[in-house]
Amino acid sequence: MIVVVPARGGSKRIPHKNIAALAGRPLLARTLDQARDAGLLANVVVSTDAEPIAAVARDCGARVIMRPADLASDTASTEAALLHVLDVLADEGRHDEWIMTLPPTSPFREASTIRAFADAVHDLPAEVDCLMSVTETRGDYWRRLPDGSFRRLFPDAPRRQQDREPLFEENSAIYVTRVAALRDSGIILGRGVEGRPIGWREALDINTPDDLALAEALLASGRRPVED
């Protein structure tokens, strides 16, 4: 299994987001700490276009593969970066069955969770191409219609939250994908997906200054960033 941390340099809402400091440690370094504690650092590749990010990765003991500029724009997909890494490794003679994707913006992901995902894929049925992390929710969802009115997405669901069946939201903290399926479909999810729930703190994704402030507050509180 190869583990890829996609970390491009550009970010509009938080400058240099992937190496933004959280309690004095870059987000990328926190993800690499998690991978190391999960016993996977030797298999980690950081894909980036930015030398400051590459420097942090190397300092943490991770391999870096620099991506071309066309894979570093706002419109470039994560899948394109993953396929670039796979192509570089294939040219070196390395061919993995599975690829794990760990975005550097999930600072509270637990090493034990990463390890559990890495181990679980070996028991997946053949029709499942991807194991992804999800967050359970019992929210009541509505969609806005073209005329501006709102319609309940699940009109037959109970009104009381505790009576509803749980729904699951893709949270992007962890993906483990069959390499063959990624190559065939060009999609990180492949064609068959299985989800594994993780707690909301583990799933916290740093995309805005408010997200970063929340993460700082959680760390300052001393509360463990795991599921309630």
Q: How confident is the model at residue 222 (pLDDT cuts 50, 70, 90)?
A: confident
pLDDT at 224 over 80: no
pLDDT at 44 over 80: yes
Angle 84-89-91 from CA coordinates, rounded to 5°: 95
Bridge-based pairing state of the strands 167-178 and 130-137: antiparallel
Smallest CA-to-CA distance from 62 within 23, 87, 33 is with: 33
Q: What are the structural domains of the chain?
A: 2-135+169-221 (3.90.550.10)
Average pLDDT, the chain: 94
The pLDDT of 121-146, averaged and rounded, is 96
Residue 32 CA to residue 183 CA, distance in Å, equals 25
**pLDDT score recorded for residue 226:** 46
Is the dihedral angle over the CA atoms 171, 72, 7, 66 positive or is it negative? positive
Contact 207, 107 (CB under 8 A): no
Model confidence, pTM = 0.93
For the stretch 5-14, pLDDT in tens is 999 998 878 9
**pLDDT score recorded for residue 228:** 42
Contact 136, 165 (CB under 8 A): no
**pLDDT score recorded for residue 192:** 95
Q: How confident is the model at residue 223 (pLDDT cuts 50, 70, 90)?
A: low
Amino acid at position 30, single letter: R
Provide DSSP, 132-150: EEEEEE----EEE-TTS-E
pLDDT at 104 over 60: yes
**pLDDT score recorded for residue 117:** 98
